[in-house]
Structure formats: C-alpha cells, structure tokens
Amino acid sequence: MKYLFVKNPPEGKYPDQGEKIDPGPFLVVSDVHIEKVADPQSPIIDRLLSAERKTQSKPEVELATNSANGIAHDHNGRGAEDLTISSPNDFIIKITRDEGATKALIATAYNRGLDPISQVSITMRTAQSFDSYREKFRNSSDFNAARIDMLDIIQPSSKGRGKLFVRKEPDKPDLFVGDDIRHEMIWPDMDKSEMQKWLLYLGIRAQTAPRNSSEKANVFREMMHYVVVIWDTNANELFVRKADVSEVMPNANVPP
C-alpha cells in the first residue's frame, strides 16, 4: 500500500466534493480526510499536488504546532516542550510539560470563542512504539484506548483545568496515559533504546455548553491528530511534538 499526503486539500478534488474518481490503492490524507483515490500514476495526483502547492486557503483543521510561534524547539531531536492543536471551532488543546515529582505532559483546553464550551475530551486510540532498528513504528495490540475527559464548562476567553496526558510514575518502568493505571504504554522488553518514541493517534471532541434548558448543545466535529511523545529515559524527561508526514504515512496503523 502506497500513500500520498496532501496537507491542505484543494476544493473539488475529493469524491465527497463532487469529482468522481475510480477507487485505487492510493490514499490522500489531510487533517480531516482519509480518502481512496485513483491509481498512483493517475494525472489527478499531479493536479492534487500542484493545487496544494499553490493554494493559500486555510485548512479545515489547522496543523498542530510546537511552541507559540510555530517553531519547534526540538532539544537535539527529542521533541518540544509544548504542542498546540487548534480547532476551527475556536478552541485549542495545549500540551505542556510538568516538571513536578511525577514527570508528565499536561493537556489544557482554551476557549477562544464567543460561547462557553464543555465536554472536551481527548481519546488516545492507538499508541505505537518506535523500532529504531527498522525505523518504523510497531503495530502492537497491547494498548487499551484511553479517554481523557475535561468536564469543566469553559467560558469564552478562558481556559479549563489541566489534565494529565502522559506521565511517568517514579516506581513504574513504563509510561501511563491520563490519571489512572489502566492505560499503560508498555515498551517492548527487548528494545533497550534510551529514547522511547511513541506515535499517538488522538480524537478530540467538544461542544457548546447550553446556557439554559431550552438551548441545545452544538456538538463539534471530532478532530483527528497524530502526535509524537518522546521519553528520554536517562534524563527522565518527556517531550511532545506533532508527527511528521514521513512518520505517519508509511508506518502508522490507521484505524477505520
């Protein structure tokens, strides 16, 4: 199976946007689309790439960015200290490092819109460890999907309370998701890498918070994102960054 990544899909180039395309082995993947398109040799591939290079329109879902100015401070290739995932619905999820006794990454929701939001959640669907010898992520089956709920009602121009995203307990050998011990990220025991790199597939949900009993919540479309978490085992430091296209496309096990 071959893959092609189109970061900012041009209008009219997907089957659900009005253009009929024969199915084939190629996938065109954006922040919000995973679509089968024509054979890799089809002229449509060139058109897609050409249009993607020329377009200046805003993507339906913005790419996650590292640091406030979008430049990744990668700490010698390990990753960054924070990650921002933006939604078209005027809220963001920011993942930052906590330097307390328990090393952790903290997820916080920020409401940049005009209406209060609630029921923010992050579902970690898969967690894949990196095989540095083969330079690919493993398709392991020992991770239980985890959901991190942010139950606060977050008022406009306000932020919610931070929630544990990924953490390292001092007396445990592996990383954990969230604030419980049921969702362990088990590193393969034969892999002695000092840098443990994980590819995480996230689904992010939220909705507006009704102001009275007659008002209905507006449930936002779920955002799907890949992020990379790196644990430097020697320094006991956690880092986070957005996943590169080369990491996701040829290696990741994309759930349906």
Indicate the residue among 39, 54, 69 that finishes a domain: 54
For position 249, what pLDDT does the model report?
Answer: 74
List the Cα angle 179/146/79 in 5-degree steps: 75
Report how many domains make up the chain.
Answer: 2
Residues 126, 237: one domain? yes
The per-residue b/e assignment along 95-134, b for 16 or more CB within 10 angstroms, e otherwise, is bbbeeeeebbbbbbbbbeeeebbbbbbbbbbbbbbbeeee
For position 79, what pLDDT does the model report?
Answer: 54
CB 96 within 8 A of CB 229: no
For position 213, what pLDDT does the model report?
Answer: 87
Indicate the residue among 54, 71, 94 that finishes a domain: 54
Residues 125, 168: one domain? yes
Asked, for residue 63, whether it belongs to a domain, the answer is: no
Domain containing residue 237: CATH number: 2.60.40
Residues 141, 19: one domain? no
Residues 18, 92: one domain? no
Asked, for residue 256, whether it belongs to a domain, the answer is: no
Angstrom distances, CA of residue 194 to CA of 132, 171, 235? 11, 18, 9
Domain hosting residue 138, numbered range: 82-248
Token pair 């007659």 in the structure block, residue: 214
Helices assigned H by DSSP within 41-108: 43-54
CB 82 within 8 A of CB 67: yes
The per-residue b/e assignment along 208-241, b for 16 or more CB within 10 angstroms, e otherwise, is bbeeeeeeeeeebeebbbbbbbbbbeeeebbbbb
Residues 211, 114: one domain? yes
Two structure tokens written together for 127 = 């967690």
Indicate the residue among 12, 35, 54 that finishes a domain: 54
Residues 106, 167: one domain? yes
Asked, for residue 41, whether it belongs to a domain, the answer is: yes
Residues 116, 242: one domain? yes
Asked, for residue 142, whether it belongs to a domain, the answer is: yes
Phi and psi dihedrals of 232, rounded to 5?
-85, 105
Residues 180, 108: one domain? yes
Asked, for residue 207, whether it belongs to a domain, the answer is: yes
Rounded average pLDDT per 10-residue block, the chain, 256 residues: 42 41 42 40 48 38 40 48 92 90 91 96 96 90 92 95 94 93 93 95 96 92 95 94 83 46
Residues 47, 109: one domain? no
